[in-house]
Amino acid sequence: MTDNALSLFQLCDSNFPTGSFSHSFGLETYIQKDIVQDPETFSEWLKVYLHEQLAYADGLAARLVYEALDQDDLEKIWELDRILTVQNLARESRDGTQRMGDRMLNIAESIYEIPILSTYRQRLRNKQSFGHSAIVFTMVGHYLQVEKETTILYYLYSTLVALVQNAVRAIPLGQTAGQKVIYSFQKELKQATDKIMHLDEMDFGVVSPGLELSQMQHERVGIRIFSS
Amino acid sequence: MSNWTGVLELDMESRQGRTVAKNVYFQGAFKVMRPVYHNNYSYPCYYLLNPGGGYLDGDTYRMSVSLDEEAQLTLTTQSSTKVYKTPKSYVYQETEFHLKKNSYLEYLPDALIAYENAKYVQKNIVHMEKGATLLYSDIVTPGWSPEGKQFSYDTLRLKSEIYMDNELVAFDHIKLQPEQQHMTGLGFMEGYTHLGSFIVIGEKTNEALLDRLYEAIQEDSSDFAFGLSKLAVPGFTVRIMANRTQIIERIITTCHQIICDEWYQTKPSFLRKY
């Protein structure tokens, strides 16, 4: 691992304060319905979430942002910020990604002096952009000259680790069971990254009906420890 | 243009408070019937029909509808749209709506039925000005298959982009590929076969309306699952999964009635089809 990859790895820590601990992206709905209740059923949910939603939205956006940064095509990045936000038809998930994006941008700005981060911040202030952690993460990865594929893989990993931590608290699972899930997902993360590298831009934002329904339904679930 | 299997253009305007067509053009396998002014409404209902009886291999359809300021329109189909097997190339339907300020469009087509090995791609693009209102629904269902398979179609891809004052405000993309997805499983159709969507954009959307819709839908005791959520602009989406078209239609009708009541104190017309 290069020093730069290590720097990017800091953003993957589940203690990195983006507020990801308060968002389950519909997982809590499945927990409330007793559909997700152990490491096996949680892994099943995580697989679908990773391959059928995250890959087409955050993952593909990360790749396209990276490519746009290579070509210095900033307009493309702002377009992606918008589509990545509005494709989320479930309000809580959409608001959640905005809040997390905003906080990740804050911390990234305090660590790095990257001009594009300031531009992004300015756009958020002017309400020209929404803010999304996949975009901030990619901006940092690109700045650190971490390869595109690695940047995507790390971003997916960071999301996965946060969701596992949330599952450990909410289902609940033992910490060891959680770590075993993370370990067992190494292959899945590579597969998802591989798929993202080969996706066509027209595949952007594909959503799986059941997942989306659970994210909408979360607004009205009885007991909530998460905001999405 | 002439490469399309069917083309339809419909441009509406408001003349002294009454909405009339200023351009109706259709060609090939796409038609509209004479407009009906239900209940002496000041605006018409147009019924779309596909004289061919269904969409075949490689068919391409394009529809473009525009509403000038204050114009109102109901657009529906005369019956369900059937997509038959498409061994060579997918069926493509493209629809563009242009809605000027204070115009009102309800586009409530019948269900789309995708038969064995059908590949269907639909793209909707809506350009609206602030103050315009859109009610949009679609229902996709699997057709009967000789082997009794639940999902025998190949691909259904439905993409919608909604722009307000030239900015993207909602984006929806559903892709169902039964061969490659665990359709009945968690995260997919979760035991259901039919999928319905109802997207509404209107400045009068508020929490009270959403609560009323939610409660009304919940009162329906049939077997279905649904989600309801606000968009990034005043408006919302209702997504429904069920095993029968009628259930989804009933829920959409319920929502439609509540909107008409809350926003206009009117009752929507019953869309007579036969």
Percent of chain B with pLDDT over 70: 98
Residue B1 is predicted with a pLDDT of 47
Residue A66 exposed, middle or buried by CB count within 10 Å (0-12, 13-18, 19+) = buried
Nearest-Cα distance to chain A for B263, in Å, is: 22
In B, which residues are within 8 Å of A96 by CB distance? none
In A, which residues are within 8 Å of B214 by CB distance? 220
If you ran DSSP here, which 8-state letter would residue B183 be given? T
Locate all alpha helices (DSSP H) within chain A, ordered by sequence.
3-9, 27-32, 39-49, 60-70, 74-86, 91-111, 115-125, 133-143, 148-170, 175-184, 186-198, 209-217
ipTM of this complex prediction, to 2 decimal places: 0.96
Question: B229, A219: Cβ pair inside 8 Å?
Answer: yes
Nearest-Cα distance to chain B for A29, in Å, is: 12
Domains of chain A: 3-10+23-220 (1.10.4190.10)
Residue B272 is predicted with a pLDDT of 63
- Give the number of A-B residue pairs with CB atoms closer than 8 Å: 93
- Residue B146: pLDDT band (50, 70, 90) is confident
pLDDT higher than threshold 90 for residue B53 = no
**How far, rounded to the nearest angstrom, does the alpha carbon of residue B271 sit from its chain's CA centroid?**
14
Residue A96 exposed, middle or buried by CB count within 10 Å (0-12, 13-18, 19+) = buried
Q: Which residue of B has its CA nearest to A217?
A: B227
Question: B186, A82: Cβ pair inside 8 Å?
Answer: no
Residue B274 is predicted with a pLDDT of 54
In B, which residues are within 8 Å of A217 by CB distance? 227
Rounded Cα–Cα distance for residues B249 and B240 (Å) = 10
Residue B211: which of A228, A220, A224 has the closest Cα?
A: A220
pLDDT higher than threshold 90 for residue B270 = no
Residue A13 is predicted with a pLDDT of 84
In A, which residues are within 8 Å of B241 by CB distance? 209-210, 213
Q: What is the pLDDT along chain A (228 residues), one digit of tens a residue?
A: 668 999 999 999 878 899 999 999 999 999 999 999 999 999 999 999 999 999 999 999 999 999 999 999 999 999 999 999 999 999 999 999 999 999 999 999 999 999 999 999 999 999 999 999 999 999 999 999 999 999 999 999 999 999 999 999 999 999 999 999 999 999 999 999 999 999 999 999 999 999 999 999 999 998 899 999
pLDDT higher than threshold 60 for residue B111 = yes
Rounded Cα–Cα distance for residues B263 and B208 (Å) = 12
Residue A53 is predicted with a pLDDT of 98
Residues B165-177, mean pLDDT to the nearest whole number: 98
Rounded Cα–Cα distance for residues A148 and A154 (Å) = 10
pLDDT higher than threshold 50 for residue B149 = yes
Q: Which residue of A has its CA nearest to B161?
A: A87
Question: B230, A91: Cβ pair inside 8 Å?
Answer: yes
Are A173 and A38 spatial neighbours (Cβ–Cβ below 8 Å)?
Answer: yes
pLDDT higher than threshold 50 for residue B182 = yes
Residues B17-24, mean pLDDT to the nearest whole number: 96
Chain A interface residues (partner B, CB cutoff 8 A): 30, 35, 41, 44-45, 48-49, 52, 56, 82-83, 85-87, 89-92, 94, 203-217, 219-220
